[in-house]
A and B are shown apart, each in its own frame.
Chain A
Amino acid sequence: MVSFASEKVFSLGSIPITNTVLNTFVVDVALIAGALFLTKRLNQIPSLMQNAIEALIETFYNLTQTVAPNRAAKIFPYLATFFLFILISNWSGLIPGVGSIGFFHNGQLIPILRSTTSDLNTTLGLALVSAVATHLLSLRIIGIKEYFGRYFSLNPVNLYVGLLEIISEITKVISLSFRLFGNIFAGEVVLITISGIFAFIFPVPFLLLEFIVGFVQALVFAMLTMAFMAILSTPHHQTAKEVNHKEYES
């Protein structure tokens, strides 16, 4: 039986080190080492690896520029980091041994490593970073008056809309964190179950499915963050103008 909570592997004093925390370190090291390895060998004529990373970064940057032309430089790092961190975390759970190599405690297998995003602490942490960064960006770009004007108004209708907006901001965090956690945790459960029934060949399609799910979930999280950032950092009147302009164009 897979538990929702990550399992404690060891403790550093009073600090519990869980298998997801250990996996987070592995993901961190992979990301930082990959970044350093790549940027040390940057060349005007790119290698295959550099080309792939350049294509990914350029695609994300251009996408951000399309959605929020003036704020691309600020939004892009969040989009790219959320995508890369979540993608590597999701895929790390598919590496043979992750989730299956461990030790027994009270007759239950405690894996040494477990996919980072199958821990609600990670996904909720990411969702909180996304939400806080979105609101800070919004405050910085549209200003305090415009920012609070979105939620509080003397007009009862707007006040009610503002209240709904506040609730939606809370639900955004919950939906972001639980969507990612649910998908990856469910995938992990499916893989463990299938591998328990048939050890060979049969889990392969499910592994491929999880590979795609991992990619899609990383993309969904990153894209939603970008969309929230773009929406919240656009003043109300400008949004209206943009909508009118688009309607006129169409």
Chain B
Amino acid sequence: MELIKNFGLDPFLLGAQVVNFLIILYLLKRFLYKPILDLLKNRETVIKDGLQKAQEAVLLLEKTKEEEKRIIKNAQAEAKKLLENAKIHSLSLTAKLEESSKKQAERILLQAKAQIEQETRSAEERLMSNVSRVAMQFLQKSVSQLFDKKDQEEVMKKAIEQLKKTPN
């Protein structure tokens, strides 16, 4: 008992210290550990989410880049195809145009030929008629001196028939 007294052990103070510590334990648990542990947990979740989102973003970026490459490749292929089609189309169009212009030229040539032929024919006809007229005049003048009236008519008639029979 003397030893306990020397150390100053007092049941009341001992009890007070125990109660005091339990109160501190409760208060710190409620106002310090819980908020900080919750915050740490929350931060961990936020960081995890952030990292996951960043990873997803990287994957999405890679995917988008691949998609972009694919689209560009497709567009290039399509453009090439379009260019080839346009080339083929232009070539066929040129060929068609060439053919049509050729045909038109031929038609114009034929028309010109026909016109020239017609004009030649009409010129020949005119020449023929002039030649016939001159020939008739010449014949008339020549015949009037050589034959009588009846023979003149006969010769003239035969000459006209002969002229008519003569091909152009």
A residues apposed to B, CB below 8 Å = 3-6, 15-16, 18, 21, 24, 28, 31-32, 35-36, 38-39, 42, 44, 53-54, 57-58, 61, 76-78, 80-81, 84-85, 119-122, 124-126, 128-129
Contacts and interface: CB of A to CB of B under 8 A. Distances in A.
Nearest to B17: A125
A31 B30 CA distance: 13
A115 to B, nearest CB: 13
Contact of B17 (A24, A39, A78): A24
B50 to A, nearest CB: 11
Interface in B40-91: 40, 42-43, 46
B95 interface: no
Q: How extensive is the interface on chain B, given as a class?
A: 20 to 34
Given A5-B6, A77-B33, A16 B13 contact: yes
B2 to A, nearest CB: 12
Contacts, number: 107
Consensus secondary structure, chain B interface: helix
B9 A124 contact: yes
Nearest to B3: A4
10 tightest Cβ-Cβ pairs between the two chains A and B: A5-B8, A125-B17, A35-B32, A121-B13, A125-B18, A77-B29, A39-B35, A120-B7, A81-B25, A122-B17
B18 to A, nearest CB: 4
6 contacts: A5-B5, A16-B10, A31-B24, A54-B36, A57-B33, A77-B33
B93 interface: no
A193 to B, nearest CB: 20
Contacts of B27: 31-32, 35
A39 B9 contact: no
